């Protein structure tokens, strides 16, 4: 059985339980822009035409995103979130008795998509505290395995590490040399390298981008795959029509226009991230440097720490499912919540339940 993957986000049951106790929770478990969504994006989704079918292939949205990224529309595929595109890429790349490779620790849907496509999963894992890529080891393993597909998250979730373009290129070259595809998931790149348009994908390379993180609309589900036309065509052939809903298409078209809001949000998050790192380090926490809108923090028992922190009004991501049971992932909050968050984390780490 292909077991479901644990994700961030506050469950309805948890929300109701704490609301009944009069505890208002700030959800920092899902790594979203705390200043979004922009009202115009929300309004676009709310007033989208739902009395008729949306464009089956999201043509207008694909063309708009292509223009925004200086690419041709035949190099862009819109999907029901990046997750759908991960599964489409794995299915399109899969061969009989094939292998998929994941550079971890990272997002669990990569491995699940590989298994769903009938392939075996192989993982190369970077280790704490630095979580550095050993490119030579990875390249050697790729040459041995000859995987159909390799997944790399950059900046990485949950470590926040931004891999250099030279590292990514070397890994990608080794994958393509053995006939495979490489997927570079840049869901958080807007926070790491604001304003940077995606680099035109090389042959056999798929770049994934998301609007739902930066614009804080995960309920709408919207992502993009960027690749050569032949790769996009292979993925599109496996995609059901109307995969992207009318509200998601409308919100996506509007989000692409909100460049000032996006730039200001990224600047505010970067300042808050630097302040939060300094504050947590001063309080004795081991914190990883991060290029994303989240921090990986070492604690004593992630699950217990998460529960204690919820008693103090904040929700973070327990990282046990990443293979990091002594870590939590903390999204960058609004600046107004920083001081209270640090105080709550100090209290949760002291082992006192409230």
Q: Measured between alpha carbons, how far is 7 from 81 in angstroms, rounded to an integer?
A: 14
pLDDT of residue 166: 93
pLDDT of residue 352: 55
pLDDT of residue 3: 72
Name the residue ranges covered by the structural domains of the chain.
12-30+259-349, 39-255
Q: Which residues contact 76 (CB under 8 A, 6 or more apart)?
A: 62, 65, 66, 69, 224, 225, 226, 232
Q: Measured between alpha carbons, how far is 15 from 66 in angstroms, rounded to an integer?
A: 39
Q: What are 221-249's pLDDT values in tens digits? A: 999 999 999 999 999 999 999 999 999 99
Q: What are 21-34's pLDDT values in tens digits? A: 888 899 999 999 99
Helix or strand holding residue 152 (H, E) = strand 149-153
> What percent of the chain is predicted at pLDDT more than 70?
98
The closest alpha carbon to 74, from 90, 52, 57, belongs to 57
pLDDT of residue 7: 85
Q: Kindly report the CATH number that applies to the domain delimited by 12-30+259-349.
A: 3.90.1150.10
Measured CA to CA in angstroms, residue 342 lies from 165, 278, 292, 314 at distances of 34, 10, 19, 10
Please name the fold of domain 39-255. 3.40.640
Given a cut of 70, the residues of the chain with pLDDT beneath it are 1, 195-197, 351-354
Length of the chain: 354
The closest alpha carbon to 160, from 200, 135, 195, 126, belongs to 126
**pTM metric for this prediction:** 0.95
């Amino acid at each position: 059985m292909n077991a479901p993957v644990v994700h961030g986000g506050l469950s309805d049951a948890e929300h109701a339980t704490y609301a009944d106790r009069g505890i208002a929770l700030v959800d920092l478990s899902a790594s979203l822009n705390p200043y979004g969504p922009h009202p115009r994006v929300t309004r676009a989704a709310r007033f989208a035409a739902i009395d008729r079918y949306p464009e089956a292939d999201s043509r207008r949205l694909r063309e708009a995103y292509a223009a925004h990224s200086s690419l041709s529309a035949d190099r862009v595929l819109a999907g029901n979130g990046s997750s759908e595109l991960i599964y489409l890429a794995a299915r399109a790349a899969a061969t009989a008795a094939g292998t998929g490779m994941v550079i971890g620790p990272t997002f669990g849907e990569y491995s699940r998509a590989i298994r769903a496509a009938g392939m075996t999963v192989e993982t190369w894992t970077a280790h704490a505290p630095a979580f550095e890529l050993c490119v030579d080891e990875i390249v050697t393993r790729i040459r041995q395995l000859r995987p159909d597909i390799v997944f790399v998250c950059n900046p990485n979730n949950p470590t926040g590490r931004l891999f250099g373009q030279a590292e990514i290129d070397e890994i990608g070259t080794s994958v393509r040399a053995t006939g495979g595809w490489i997927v570079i998931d840049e869901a958080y790149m807007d926070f790491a390298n604001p304003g940077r348009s995606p680099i035109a994908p090389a042959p056999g390379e798929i770049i994934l981008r998301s609007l739902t993180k930066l614009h804080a609309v995960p309920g709408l589900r919207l992502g993009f795959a960027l690749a050569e036309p032949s790769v996009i065509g292979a993925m599109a052939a496996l995609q059901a029509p109307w995969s992207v809903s009318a509200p998601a298409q409308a919100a996506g078209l509007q989000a692409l226009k909100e460049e000032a809001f996006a730039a200001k949000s990224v600047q505010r998050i970067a300042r808050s991230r630097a302040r939060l790192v300094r504050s947590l380090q001063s309080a004795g926490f081991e914190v990883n440097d991060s290029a994303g809108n989240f921090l990986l923090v070492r604690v004593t028992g992630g699950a217990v720490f998460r529960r204690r922190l919820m008693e103090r009004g904040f929700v973070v991501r327990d990282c046990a499912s990443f293979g990091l049971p002594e870590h939590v992932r903390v999204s960058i909050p609004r600046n107004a919540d920083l001081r209270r968050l640090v105080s709550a984390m100090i209290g949760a780490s002291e082992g006192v339940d409230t």
